[in-house]
């Protein structure tokens, strides 16, 4: 992982100095990282996916690769940013899907068991997103940890690195966030 971090930093610096080859290589690396995160995220949710992995990667890439990549400070910062973007993409997609179900689109579709499961997942994602906004007001770091773990599928150490905290702090904040959210989701 240290080698990837050094390579990312080197490419990022070269991009800032106008190196087009470095920019293309950084974009390939960022895209590969997004693919890995999206696959991990899809494994987190299970069931019928709200959005498939390829669509999630492409949408995240489009939101990050443009002017935003120039503001990325490090590989860890990228992972932190990617976690937030994946949350936004998935929740925006879930909201759109629910709006379409309510007649936002013009076509009326009969709801099948698969549609019902996807609807349930979309509803749950939106509920978690809304609760995370509330958690962020009380425990901002716990909300960031949950976002990294749940929405980007980062492991414990990757989350700690992405947020610049110790492994133990990331574990403690993960447990806090999960407990806080579980209590509110159950009630």
> Which stretches of the chain score pLDDT less than 70?
1, 42-50, 66-70, 101-119
pLDDT of residue 44: 63
For the chain, what is the domain count? 1
pLDDT of residue 108: 47
pLDDT of residue 167: 97
Number of Cβ within a 10 Å radius of residue 147: 26
pTM: predicted TM-score of the whole model, two decimal places: 0.73
- Domain span at 16: 2-186
């Amino acid at each position: 992982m240290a080698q990837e971090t050094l390579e990312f930093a080197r490419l990022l610096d070269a991009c800032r100095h106008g190196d087009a080859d470095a920019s293309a290589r950084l974009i390939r690396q960022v895209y590969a990282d997004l693919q890995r995160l999206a696959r991990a995220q899809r494994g987190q949710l299970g069931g019928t996916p709200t959005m498939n992995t390829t669509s999630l990667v492409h949408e995240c890439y489009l939101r990050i690769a443009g002017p935003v990549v120039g503001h990325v400070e490090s590989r860890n910062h990228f992972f932190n940013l990617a976690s937030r973007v994946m949350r936004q993409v998935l929740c925006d997609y879930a909201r759109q899907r629910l709006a379409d179900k309510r007649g936002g689109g013009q076509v009326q579709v009969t709801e099948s068991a698969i549609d019902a499961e996807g609807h349930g997942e979309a509803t749950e994602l939106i509920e978690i997103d809304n609760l995370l906004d509330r958690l962020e007001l009380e425990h901002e770091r716990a909300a960031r940890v949950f976002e990294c773990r749940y929405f980007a599928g980062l492991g414990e150490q990757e989350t700690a690195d992405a947020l610049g905290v110790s492994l133990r702090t990331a574990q403690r904040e993960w447990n806090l966030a999960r407990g806080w959210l579980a209590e509110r989701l159950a009630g």
